[in-house]
Amino acid sequence: MTIEDKVIAITGASSGIGKATATLLAARGARVVLGARRTEALASLAAEIEAAGGQAVFLPTDVSRRADLDAMVALACERFGRLDVLVACAGIGPISRFDALRVEDWDAMIDVNLRGVLHGISAALPVFGRQRSGHFVSVVSTAGLTIVPTMGVYAATKNAVRTVMEALRQESGPHLRVTEVSPGMVATDFAASMTDDVVRAAIQKRLDEVAIPPEAIARGIAFAIEQPAEVDVNSIVIRPTAQA
């Protein structure tokens, strides 16, 4: 049971769960490939990891663009010779009621939360097939387990990914592992992407009351990755004890 020397690519690595995951995995000896849209934040994180004795490379990555995921996977193979794990942490949540008709926000969530995961699968699956090994880890949400007002489209994208991951698991045979991790309320900048002021304020208030640190989710991701090759942890739910 080890993470050491695994080559792990992480989308959404510039902040929140992605950043916490990258930091933890690098500290445990993984060689990490960092992807996100914010170049300066990626460069800073890579520098922090290397200063602590880890190995990291980064590439500006917009998961809604298929070519960016192809380039990220190619970077892993060029620098480190292979890719062992792709962790899909990139996600946005500009939630609102349906009757607010924020259709652009709906489209953005579909592009990032769902298409972004599919683009990662399309980029990494051929590599995993050649290697006869690999692991997809996707961060979904407890919002898909308990449906509440304002989160209809967001929850739909997360449940779509949950469906994709289960079908992928069944198709993949004995050499590919597939894990979905469902966080509850986590202390990240999740609310910052919300365009509805009332909803954003309500979500931020609840986060301030009960949210757990993103490192808690990172530890769950690390647990799934470090299992022996014959053990596939398919689903993990991690939420605050105080979350209803």
Q: Tell me the angle at which helices 66-80 and 116-131 cross, rounded to the nearest 10 degrees.
A: 30
Q: Is 154 a catalytic residue?
A: yes
List Cα–Cα distances, 191 to 65, 68, 172, 197, 203, in angstroms: 23, 25, 35, 10, 7
How many angstroms separate the CA atoms of 177 and 136, rounded?
A: 6
Catalytic residue among 154, 161, 200, 233: 154
Residue 55, strand partner residues: 31
How many angstroms separate the CA atoms of 128 and 121, rounded?
A: 10
How many angstroms separate the CA atoms of 66 and 180, rounded?
A: 21
The distance in angstroms from the start CA to the end CA of the chain is 33
Classify 66 as helix, strand or coil.
helix
List Cα–Cα distances, 207 to 26, 130, 138, 242, in angstroms: 27, 43, 22, 11
In contact, 105 and 195? CB cutoff 8 Å: yes
Return the active site residues: 154
